[in-house]
Amino acid sequence: MRIIRIILILFVASLLLSCATKPSSQQFDIDRFDKEKMDQFFTVMDENNRGMGSISIFHEGVEIYQNQIGFGDVANHHVITPDTKFRISSITKTFLAVIIMQMVDEGKLSLDTTLDTFYPNIVNAEYITIRDMLYHRSGIFNFTNDETYSEWRHEPKT
């Protein structure tokens, strides 16, 4: 278990270091991308039950790497395939928060922007800020607390 942590730390550190030494993320060196090392890393993760998921890396719109480890359905031991569908739920909050903070950094949005700028029909939208939304303090009803949510969440969505 300790060796996995060390490998994971080294992997993350190497990614961070490689990003930090490049002036721009636009300068990805495709010739230095090592698929075999990526495969080795994910094999170790999989063999030691240290992760489950799917990874797909694209460069200039072309997939240059993909791999899957673990189970999409642990109870039934269904392994993950490139066609496995994942229920993403709350993980989207992280990505949305990053996008919002990038927009704030670019001056396209302010954390003090009120929701009525985009959704004027929401009750109290003129008082709810983007910051409130990110802190989950908007006062807007959490639809996952609705009695019908458990039925709704199992219906296919597009």
DSSP one-letter code for 4: H
The reply to whether the predicted model has a pTM over 0.95 is: no
pLDDT of residue 86: 78
Active site residue 89: no
| Interval 28-48: pLDDT, tens | 678 888 899 989 999 998 998
Provide the Cα torsion 103, 107, 113, 115; round to 10°. Answer: -40
| Interval 53-103: pLDDT, tens | 888 888 888 999 999 998 888 888 889 988 888 777 777 888 889 999 999
Q: Among residues 83, 38, 31, 37, which one has the least CA distance to residue 57?
A: 38
The residue ranges of every structural domain in the chain are 2-79, 91-152
Q: Which of 24, 25, 90, 150 is catalytic?
A: 90
How far apart, in whole angstroms, are the C-alpha atoms of residue 148 and residue 154? Answer: 11
Torsions phi, psi for 82 (to 5 deg): -60, -20
